[in-house]
Structure 1
Amino acid sequence: MTSVAAFDPQDLRIRPMHADDLRLVERLSSSAFVDLEARLAPAGQEAPSGRSVQAAQIWIARTARFLDSDPGGCWVAEVGDAVVGFATSFRRETTWFLATYAVATPWQGRGVGKALLDAALQHSRGCVRGMLSASSDPRAARRYKLAGFDLHPQMTLSGTVDRTAVPELRNLRDGTPGDQEWMDSLDRGNRGAGRGRDHEFLRSVHRLRVIDHRTGRGYAYSNLDGVQLLAADNRRTAARLLWDALAAVPPGRSTRVAHVTGANQWALETGMEAGLSVRLDGFLGLRGLKPPAPYLHHGALL
C-alpha cells in the first residue's frame, strides 16, 4: 500500500462500490466518525465509541439497499490496494441525498474527499433539490458550501427524560404499510420527495408511530435511544409525536433528539420541557430547499 507520506494524487482511484466492500467501508466509517467526534468534542465530554455489532449490521443492510437502488451514487476511493474513503448517495423522485461520506483519518486533507463528493454529485444530475447532513468539521462544511449547498446549523438535545413532564397523549397508534401513501405525500411537502421503499427498511428496524386525525397528520420512527425521524403537517402534531417517542425511552436511560434546525423551535421547546439539554451539532445542507419543518431528519435516509 502507498504510504500517506509518499502519496501522489495520481495514485488515487475512484471506482463504483461493490457488495464486497460493505464490511470494510462500515469499519472505515465507524473509525472515521469516532475520530471526528473525539476531535470536535467539548472538554469533559465522554469519549465516543464505535458502532455496536447490531448497529453495524443495520448500517451494512441499509448501505446494501443503496447499492441495489442507486449503484450510480455509491463510490469508493482506493490508493494502491487499500480503500481510503467512500460516499453513498441516492435519488428519490427529483431530490438527491448524500447518505454517508467518510475518508480514513490519515488520508484526510489530501483531495480524497473532494474526488469522492464530485463522483457522488454526478448522481444528482437532473435533480432540482439536494439534501445532506454534515458534522461540524470546518473542512467538510467548506466542501459542501463550494458544492452549492446552503448550510443551516443543527442542534442536538440529550439527557434523561423528566417522566413527570410527559403530557397525556391521544390519537396515536402504530403505523402500518397502509399509511405509506399519505406519509410519502407529507414528505414531498417537507423535502420534495417521498421515501418509497425506504419506509420498508425503516419499519424493519424502528418503531413506527403515527397520528392520522382531523387535527393533523404525522409519523415518527424511534428506537430505545429515542426518535430517529419525524415528519408532520403542523407543530402540535409534531410535538405529540416527539413526546410519544421520548415517553417510550426506558426510565433512567439517556436519549437524544438530533438534527434540530432553527426552523423547528417546537422540538427545542418539547425537548427542554422534557429536561433535555441542547448543544450545536453540525449542519443541514440544502440545495433548492428551505429547512423542512415540522421535521427531524434521519441521519442517512434524511
Structure 2
Amino acid sequence: MKAAPTHRLQRMSRTDLALALQWATREGWNPGLHDTDLFHAIDPRGHFMAWIGEQPVACISGLRHGVGYGFIGLYIVEPSFRGKGLGLAVWNAALEHLKGCVVGLDGVPEQQDNYARSGFDLAWRNRRYSGLGLGPRPPHPRIVRLAGMPFDSLAAYDRLFHPEPRPAFLQTWIRQRRGTALGWLQDGELRGYGVRRACVHGHKIGPLCADSPAIAEGLLQALCAGVGSQETVHLDVPEPNREALALAERQGFVPGFPTARMYRGPRPHVDLARQYALTALEIG
C-alpha cells in the first residue's frame, strides 16, 4: 500500500461524530437517532477523524470502557479515499488510544483476515435479525420501567454481560430520548432487561438479557409492543445462544447480515447464554 496522502488526525467533536454517524447511515448501519451524545460520552477522547485540508476523509471510535477494556467501531473511510492508507492511519490512532486494553470489535466477515493480522481472534459470530412491531398490548405484570427501579441492581446485573462496569453509560442509555428501557422483576430481583432505541430506520433492541428464554420472550414482546405494526425492529443476536436465535425466529424476525466478534488479548468472560441481543455493534 502506498503511503497515506498528507493528512491530519484529530479527535472528533460532537459535530464530527454526528457526521461520522451520517456516514454510518450511508453505509447501511442504521445508527440510533440520538447516538451522537450517547457514544461521545462513553469516551470523549476516543473518537478520531482524518482530514485532508478541510475535508474529513476517515473516522473510527476506539472507546475505553473502564481501565482494561476497549472497543473499536465506526471504522469508515470515505469511498473516494479508500485504498490510500487513511483507514490504517485512524486504525493505528484508535489502537494507540486503547494501549494496554483488551480490545473488542464487531466486524463484517470479509474484514476478518485484516483484523486477524492486527492480532484479533474470532470469539463468536452475531446475526442481525429484523421484524415488525406488535402495536399496543397490555403490559405483563412483572415488567417494570428500569428508570423507576434501584439503579444498583441494574448495574450489577449488566456486569454479567460486559467486561467492565459501565454505570455512567447505563444511566444515559436507559433514559435516552424516544427510547424504552424495561426490566423483568420477579421475587424482588431483576431477572432480565432490555432497551429499545429509535433509529434512522425503525428501532433497535439492545441489550436484551434474561435469565430464561421465557423472560427474554416477555421482554422482547413488551419492547415490540411499543412499536407500530408496520415499523421495523432490529436486534443483533450472538449466534452461540441458540435459544436467542430460536426466539427471534419464533417471533417472526428474519435473519440478515452476520458480524464477527473478535478480541485482541484474552477473551473476556461474558454470559452469552443469557444474552439475547447485543447493546450496539458500534460500542460493544
- TM-score w.r.t. the length of structure 2 is 0.80
Aligned to 1:3: none
Q: Which runs of 4+ in 1 moved over 6 A?
A: none
Shift of 1:113: 1.6
Compare relative contact order (CA 8 Å, sep 6+) and give the higher one, 1 or 2: 2
Are residues 109 and 185 of structure 1, via their aligned partners in 2, closer, same or farther at CA, if it must alter by over 3 Å?
farther
Distance 2:127 2:20 in 1: 27
Distance 2:55 2:256 in 1: 37
SS in 2 for 1:227: strand
Distance 1:157 1:10 in 2: 39
Shift of 1:211: 1.4
Aligned to 2:255: 278
Identity percentage of aligned residues:
20
What is the root-mean-square deviation of aligned Cα atoms in Å? 3.0
Q: Unaligned stretches of 5+ in structure 2?
A: none
Q: Are 2:134 and 2:226, in contact at CA under 8 Å, matched by a contact in 1? A: no
Distance 2:17 2:103 in 1: 25
Q: Unaligned stretches of 5+ in structure 1?
A: 1-6, 38-49
Aligned to 1:148: 119
Aligned to 1:242: 220
SS in 1 for 2:207: strand
- Identify, as 1 or 2, the structure richer in helix: 1
* Counterpart check, 1:14 vs 2:27: no
| Residue from 106, 111, 118 that aligns with 2:85 | 111
SS in 2 for 1:194: coil
The letter for the 2-side match of 1:11 is T
SS in 2 for 1:11: coil
| Residue from 38, 57, 62 that aligns with 1:62 | 38
Stretch of structure 1 that moved more, 202-211 or 86-95: 86-95
State how 1:59-208 maps to structure 2 within 5 Å: 59-66=35-42, 69-71=43-45, 73-93=46-66, 94-127=68-101, 129-136=102-109, 138=110, 140-151=111-122, 152-160=124-132, 169-176=140-147, 178-202=149-173, 203-205=175-177, 206-208=179-181
Distance 1:121 1:172 in 2: 41
Q: Are 2:125 and 2:239, in contact at CA under 8 Å, matched by a contact in 1? A: yes
- TM-score w.r.t. the length of structure 1 is 0.76
Distance 2:268 2:185 in 1: 26
Count of matched residue positions in the alignment of Structure 1 and Structure 2:
268
